[in-house]
Structure 1
Amino acid sequence: MHLYAIAANLPSASARRLAHELRHLGAEFGLDGETLWSTSSRSGALAAGGIHHSAARCAPRVYLSQTEGVLTWFDGLPVSTRPGQNAHDARELAGSWESVGEELEGQFSVARLALEHERAEIVTDALGVAQVFCARHQGGVLVSNSATLIAAVLDLHVPDPLGVCSFLGLGWAAGASTLNGGIEVLCGGSRHIIEHSGLRTHQSFGPRTIPAKRGRAIPPAELAERMTTITGNAVAGMPRVGCALTGGRDTRVMVALLRAAGEEALYFTGGEPTSPDVVIATELAEMLGLQHELVQHDPASSAVDWTEAASRFVAQNDGLASLLQLPDYIELPACPPPLGVKLWGVGGEIGRTGTGFLTAIATNAPLLQRSNRIQRKLLGVKSRDDGGVMTREARHELARYLDRFHRERLEEGWTPDEIQEAFYTFERVGRWGGTGPRRMAATDDIFGPFVSRLFIDYCYSLSSKERYVEAAHYRLLSEISASLRDHRYDTPFPTPRPWLAPALATRQLAIAIRKRLRDRRRADSLGGPSSGAPDPEYPFQHAWLEARLPLIRDIFSTAESPLWDYVSRPRIEHLLNGSEAERAHHQEGLLRALSIFWHFHGPRPGGGAQPHAAERSFSTPKSRRYRLRAPASSRGSG
């Protein structure tokens, strides 16, 4: 990991100030203070700094190169598309800078700073999964891969309406938003140029480029060869390589790519011994002679202080990951291992018309795919107000964004039935997936073959019918390993006949409707979520929340917070003072709201208070607190 910042025309963001913030934030990720660097141009108009893992931990990576007043560096894991070429060495990147944008895959940001010309450039990965943030402020600009750093330097602690509302309704900050007003995410697939005049962007890959790729698929053999090359380049020479192994098709493709590249890895599978994932993974490991471990991760059994872990989790992820994902928190050991690489299956659904039955059906069921109005309504279903924690204003804010997303994709040439897939690729993967690299950064870089430009281009060059039957996965496995393709899965491969997709999607729709009606009747017969014993979908998160209700009530007790414009105070009060069963039923919505309040008002790592929580950030005359009312059963009769 390499935390960095670049400031142009911002006297408050001097090299010295940037170095101070970087040292503080670097400690959260176990970065080496000895690697801290900072610099500025002769006039002081341009300043930059960074901090990264030690050379001993990160080898063979070389994060920083400096020659004749030009600095080149990277964060994440840039991967060369050329056989045998090393792109995780900043010296190599410096020597081929002009072609960097076209020749790199992986999840990364790469930067170059020319002090004499007072010019900086940042190249982002295809979807911007390795997120880089920016803020335009008082005629200047501050860019960093830490939104927390930008907020601290520029005192930007006011909530962003779209960021907060989309986090509540979708589970991530949508579009270019973050939780903090004034801080945006730089778009992926782009070269961003910072000069005295400000920030400008040249995008070479994104929603505008996809429609032109229809019907221009490369041969499957070429796809397999090129994906094998980038997978081999990603892990070559790394001290540790890890890869999940399950009964699904995404991990099957990743295993095939690693084996085709001739690379060894430690494969791991989570779950109970009798689960399909574990049973099938064990069969594959024995068949192929793989180094394989079964992992039964029980966060509750560890010695981690999970209240402190929550503070660190929120801070490390810039508030952009829900506490629902708290079990993913990694406690850095006293003697951390060498920095490894983990293959990551996120984005595999791009090859099968997106995630969930709704997107697949919307793109292929004849009754749905032709209607622009129905497609827009289906996009609105993506927003889910779990537990009713969103205010009317919040729901309207998110609806306006979804309308805009739908309209912009149509203007770019997407057909109505493709917009669900566009949303999955550029929102679900690009924004929600953007928290993945940060969560792993203390111990591993990640490489996601399915979020490579190569794989995305190939998938969108196919018809939606071909994506529905998972043609990309099937063809890759056919080219690389027929035995892996044909070994059983937790759910069988769809028929390899794309022309059957409309009939299959219609059948899937009928099954889904029957299941929905059956589930509704069952819920009605049980009397609703407020009755009976709690049955949480996520047991650890439920137990964590129940054990900390006093702290959680205190976090929600900032009376003057502008977050109450978007979070329903009556519903939060009802849930926190209601039954445990109801909290379990609505844990996703409650934890999303808590994540946002924790970001602005919760305890910081080490037990400190949030800066500027009320007086300066929200312009209130005095920081007032209120206590959520206790349940009636616990109050005196008066």
Structure 2
Amino acid sequence: MRGFVALSRAPGRQTGRQEPDPRVLACLDAPGGIRTEIDENGWVAVAADRADEAVPPLSGAFTVPLGRMARTRQGDVSPETLGGMIERREDLAALLPPFAALHRGGPGEPLAVAGDWLGFHQMFWWQGDGVAAVSTSARALAELAGEGLDARGLGVLGLVGWQIGDTTPFRSVRAIPPGAVAVLRGGEVTLERYPSDAAAPAPEQPPALDDAVAEMADILRAWQTGYMEDHPDTVIQLTGGHDSRILLAAVPDKLKAGMRALTLGEPSAPDVVIAARLAARYGMKHEVYRTDLQTDPTPERAWELTLQAARELECQASPLALAPLLVAEGALEQGHRLGGLGGEVARGFYYAGQAGAANTSAELVHRLARWRLFSNEAVEADAVDPEFLATARGETLAMLEGFFPAGDWLRATDDFYLWHRMHRWAGSHGTVAAVKRHYVNPMFDQRFVQLALAVAPDDKRDSLLLGRLMTRLDPGLAAIPLDSGLTPARLAHRTFGTRLAAKSVTARKAVRKVRQRVAGGRRPQLGAGGMSQLVLTHWRAHPEVVAGLRDLPQVRRDWLDGVLAGTRTAEPTTVAFLVNLLVASGKDHP
């Protein structure tokens, strides 16, 4: 299912929203049609992503999965079983993210919307006066609310490039938090949290590294064995990095032979070269999507894809990062796909340059914001109103200070990267994937993440934890260098040589970061640069498509005029922000 909108009114309340507005339903992007049910208490509308996808009747009891997958370590979960899990709230945390479902126990009963323990599958809520609504579309709720844009959410988007906490670009529209069931009844929405082990505080005494590695390996083996046996046609998206190789290592050797692997890139790219070597080792079927053989879309098509990406992301993250993937995925099979995104909290890549024995402070939060959060995807200062940017910086820094728990600083960064970066940034992109295919990542198992969080930060530095995990799962794979040149088997043991090699890689990254900051440059995501140039070409040929930006107070008109005239250019991160702003404001239709 692609999405839904549900609205509830207080008894006897007349709100002017007695039935779904076509503008609201248009936000659901429903190629398979929309089923609606209207009664005296409100209405619900559920969209089908495909013409052959059946939406159950919505007048009685029903359970509607909102993504392709609902699974625990024990196996796939049927809608009937899901309904009971949602009503009891028990075992919901055992479902692998991304997961979401819509449930009603019977006629007249409250509507419950359950999300996964990480809040990875993005959903949103809005509370008005005697009326409330929940949806997979923040834009749909913005249409219902009619309150316009949210300056704070736009500020976060302009500086970070994605949302944090529960912010959205729309006033009064908020993201449903991790591990929650949103219950809609009597014109009110209630967020009811369910227990999650991953959300528990880290133990005072961290587990022994080898004990944690042994349990984490067992978890991944259980997931991979069960999933591959149930779905032997599963494709693993294999790269030259650590995370996807760990997932491959957890597949039993007997199931690796003949397994399908997919890599995106040109033949000489490290990802393709290393993935081909790994596939040959086990007799896997390696499929390469040759990016060098693909014809670039026309500027007009690039603009259409970028707008589509902004809408599918609900203006929560960069559409220029998603648009190239929409091109690729349009040529790829949308079935069962293993992906490795999610190892961040197990390797603590963000520890680089951070003090190892410090407590959380405003100074450390601000330093991390300047060094990482505001440096990669921020809008160019020249493109936006200075007052907007100054206010955004102050408000976003204040928000960030509240998101880093007191105590150990490195554990606080773990907390932020899991509950904000993974929840909101990765989740925005992952939700798009989850409604198109079975998006499977066993490293989102809540116990696996809990163990990764519990391990002492020093045991995660320089990929010690992941190197040891890889070695335990498959020593042969661990002996093959990664795309960084580092070898997992060597990283598994902290010696002078491995420290020196890891520090060398970290130093090279730090030098690039320093150069980036000195030059005032941004780091657009893969493929965003080429798509941005095509979009700019279309803007200059058809300036009417962005005429709506001239009416928005956040944008400097003289800067925009210079870009359209070709006398100045725009960085991909700025183009991404402007596209989101155009779509969020509803000015994307000239």
- Note if 1:351 corresponds to 2:351: no
Residue 444 (structure 1) aligned to one of 420, 423, 437: 437
Match of residue 368 from structure 2: 379
The whole-number CA distance in structure 1 between the counterparts of 2:260 and 2:24 is 33
Contact 2:7 2:134 in 1 (8 A): yes
CA distance in 2, matches of 1:255, 1:515: 31
Cα separation, 2, equivalents of 1:114 and 1:186: 21
**Distance in 1 (alpha carbons) for counterparts of 2:112 and 2:254:** 33
For the 8 Å contact 1:354–1:421, the answer to whether it is kept is: no
Instruction: State the 1:53 CA deviation.
Output: 4.2
RMSD of equivalent CA atoms: 3.9
TM superposition shift of 1:348: 1.8
C-alpha distance 347-587 of structure 1, shift in aligned 2 (>3 A): same
The 5 A counterparts of 1:303-452 are 305-325=301-321, 326-330=323-327, 339-355=334-350, 359-362=351-354, 364=356, 369=358, 372-381=361-370, 382-384=373-375, 385-388=378-381, 389-390=383-384, 391-410=386-405, 413-440=406-433, 443-452=436-445
Counterpart position of 1:93: 82
Answering whether residue 577 of structure 2 is matched by residue 592 of structure 1, we say yes
* Paired amino acid for 2:366: K
- Please tell me the residue identity of whatever aligns with 1:37: R
Q: Could you say what secondary structure the match of 2:142 adopts?
A: helix
Q: 1:340/1:254 Cα in 2 relative to 1: closer, same or farther (>3 Å)?
A: same
> Aligned partners of 1:551, 1:129: CA distance in 2, in Å?
38
Q: Using the alignment, how far apart are the partners of 2:213 and 2:219 within structure 1? A: 10
Cα shift at 1:194: 2.4
Task: Judge conservation of contact 1:56–1:338 (CA < 8 Å) in 2.
Answer: no
**Deviation of the 1:460 alpha carbon:** 0.6
Distance 1:207 1:409 in 2: 19
Deviation of the 1:75 alpha carbon: 1.2
Q: 2:280 aligns with which of 282, 286, 307?
A: 286
Deviation readout 1:356-395 (Å, 9 max, x if unpaired): xxx432153x6xx457354122232122444213433334
Q: How many Å separate the matches in 2 of 1:184 and 1:289?
A: 48
Instruction: Mark the CA change 1:372 to 1:432 in structure 2 (over 3 Å): closer, same or farther.
Output: same
Bigger drift between 496-505 and 68-77 goes to 496-505
Which residue in the other structure is 1:3 paired with? 3
1:289 to 1:575, Cα distance in 2 relative to 1, 3 A:
same
In the TM superposition, what is the alpha-carbon distance from 1:24 to its structure 2 partner? 4.3
Alignment-derived partner of residue 224 in structure 1 = 217
Separation (CA, whole Å) in 2 of partners of 1:123 and 1:230: 23
CA contact (8 A) 2:543 2:564 kept: yes
Q: Distance in 2 between matches of 1:208 and 1:442?
A: 25
1:220 is paired with a residue whose SS is helix
Q: Is the 8 A contact 2:263 2:271 kept in 1?
A: yes
Alignment of 1:154-553 (within 5 A): 154-156=145-147, 158-196=148-186, 198-204=188-194, 209-213=199-203, 215=205, 217=207, 219-231=212-224, 237-238=230-231, 241-259=234-252, 262=255, 265-297=259-291, 300-302=295-297, 305-325=301-321, 326-330=323-327, 339-355=334-350, 359-362=351-354, 364=356, 369=358, 372-381=361-370, 382-384=373-375, 385-388=378-381, 389-390=383-384, 391-410=386-405, 413-440=406-433, 443-491=436-484, 492=486, 493=488, 495-497=491-493, 538-550=528-540, 553=543
Per-residue displacement from partner, 1:404-454 (whole Å, max 9, x unpaired)? 3323433xx452333333332222221111222343356423123333323
Answer whether contact 1:354 1:425 (CA < 8 A) is retained: no
Q: Deviations over 1:556-590 (max 9, x none)?
A: 434774x42x344444444444646x53xx33223
Mapped pair 1:38 → 2:36: yes
> 1:227 and 1:205 mapped to 2: Cα distance?
22
Alpha carbons of structure 1 residues 96 and 128: separation in structure 2 relative to 1, 3 Å: closer
TM-score, normalized by length of structure 2?
Answer: 0.82
Moved more, 183-192 or 391-400: 391-400
**CA distance in structure 2 between the aligned counterparts of 1:189 and 1:106, rounded to whole angstroms:** 10
Describe the shift of the 1:274–1:439 C-alpha distance in structure 2 as closer, same or farther (beyond 3 A). Answer: same
| Pairing partner for 2:588 from 603, 621, 627 | 603
1:124 Cα deviation (Å)? Answer: 1.2
Measured in 2, the distance between the counterparts of 1:337 and 1:300 equals: 15
Contact 1:3 1:22 in 2 (8 A): no
Please state how far the C-alpha of 1:498 moved relative to its aligned partner.
6.2
Q: Measure, in 1, the Cα distance between the counterparts of 2:42 and 2:517.
A: 60
Is 2:100–2:121's contact at 8 Å kept on the other side of the alignment?
yes
Pick closer, same or farther for the CA change 1:276–1:499 going to 2, 3 Å.
closer
Correspondence for 1:636: none
8 A Cα contact 1:72 1:90, kept in partner: yes
Counterpart secondary structure, 1:223: helix
Rounded to whole Å, the distance in 1 between the matches of 2:278 and 2:502 is 31
- Alignment partner of 1:329: what SS? helix
Structure 1 residue 54 displacement after superposition: 5.3
SS of 1:202's partner is: strand
| C-alpha displacement of 1:318 | 1.8
Indicate the residue corresponding to 1:72 in structure 2. 63
Please list the CA deviations of residues 261-291 of structure 1 after superposition, one character each: whole Å capped at 9, or x if unmatched. Answer: 9476531222232222221111111111111
| Aligned-pair CA distance for 1:155 | 3.3
Structure 2 stretches lacking a partner, 5+ long: none
Distance in 1 (CA, whole Å) between partners of 2:328 and 2:110 is 38
Provide the C-alpha distance between the structure 1 equivalents of 2:471 and 2:507, rounded to a whole number of angstroms. Answer: 32
Taking a change above 3 Å as real, the CA distance of residues 484 and 399 of structure 1, as seen in their structure-2 partners, is: farther
Q: CA deviation at 1:141?
A: 0.9
The residue number in structure 1 matching 2:72 is 81
Shift, 1:183, TM fit: 1.1
- Post-superposition offset of 1:399: 3.3
> SS of 1:269's equivalent?
strand
- Maintained 8 Å contact 2:548/2:582: no
Name the CA distance, whole Å, in 2 between partners of 1:570 and 1:428.
Answer: 34
The aligned counterpart of 1:624 is none
2:180, 2:471 → 1: CA distance?
33
**Matched AA of 2:279:** A
TM-score normalized by the length of structure 1: 0.77
The question of whether the paired residues in 2 share the 8 Å contact of 1:353 and 1:363 is answered with no
State the Cα deviation string for residues 97-130 of structure 1 (Å, max 9, x = none): 4224233122011232134453122221122121
Contact 1:238-1:340 within 8 A present in 2 as well:
no
Secondary structure (helix, strand or coil) at the match of 1:142 reads strand
Query: 2-side partners of 1:363 and 1:205: how far apart?
Result: 32
Work out whether residues 354 and 424 of structure 1, in 8 Å CA contact, stay in contact via their aligned partners in 2: no
